[in-house]
Structure 1
Amino acid sequence: MGFLRLAVFAAALAGGAYWALLIYFCSLRREALEKDWDTAPQAEGPAARDRFIEAGMADYEHSLRRKLLWGVLVLPAVVIGLLIYLVNYA
């Protein structure tokens, strides 16, 4: 029963941390794209700016940083599982 409570609490904590970091990193990337657009003024207008930012965010969706963020969910589960194994069976 204690393991179940630990698993639920750890999953909730890791999920919250994952979403907080995801929102933060996406916000940083969007800010960087907006600054890139603003430092080199183009004559296309606001619609082109929006397309530029959305294309950059689509590229971010497939980036390594986005994939490494899954470590926030996977790494704690692996460490806790390893610790439980070592304490009980080693």
Structure 2
Amino acid sequence: MIGFLRVAFFALIGLSVLYWLLSLYSRSTERERLEKKWDAAPPEDAPDREAYIKAGMAKYEKSLRHKLIWLVYIVPMAVVAVIIYIVNAQ
């Protein structure tokens, strides 16, 4: 049991690092997309570039794409739970 808890602890640390890196990458690509969109054709209703990017990033925080990054935790844990169930059910 202690061995399993040790593996689970390090797995959560690894998944947290992966989540953090994916989150930073996703934010970076979204910010870059907004900057390129502004440079191509600035919207008339946006006051300035930084306000436009800030509003776009706030919208991104509520998007499905941002929330799907949580699957980094959910999918591996579900797979391990299913494997443990299948092994113990036999």
TM-score for the superposition, normalised by structure 1? 0.89
Point out where structure 2 has 5 or more consecutive residues left out of the alignment: none
Question: Partner letter of residue 3 of structure 1?
Answer: F
Q: C-alpha displacement at 1:43, in angstroms?
A: 8.3
Partner of 1:17: 18
Work out the CA distance in 2 between the residues paired with 1:43 and 1:87: 61
* Whole-angstrom CA distance in 2 between matches of 1:25 and 1:68: 11
RMSD in angstroms over aligned alpha carbons?
A: 1.8
- Which runs of at least 4 in structure 1 moved beyond 6 Å after TM superposition? none
Separation (CA, whole Å) in 2 of partners of 1:84 and 1:7: 13
Which residue number in structure 2 is paired with residue 37 of structure 1? 38
Q: Residues 18 and 50 (structure 1 numbering): CA distance in 2 closer, same or farther, change over 3 Å?
A: same
Provide the identity percentage.
48
Aligned counterpart, 1:81:
81
Deviation per CA, 1:28-82: give whole Å up to 9, x if none. 00000000001114789xx710000000000000111111110001111111111
Structure 1: unaligned runs, 5 residues or longer: none
How does the TM-score come out when normalised to structure 2? 0.89
Aligned residue for 2:51? 51
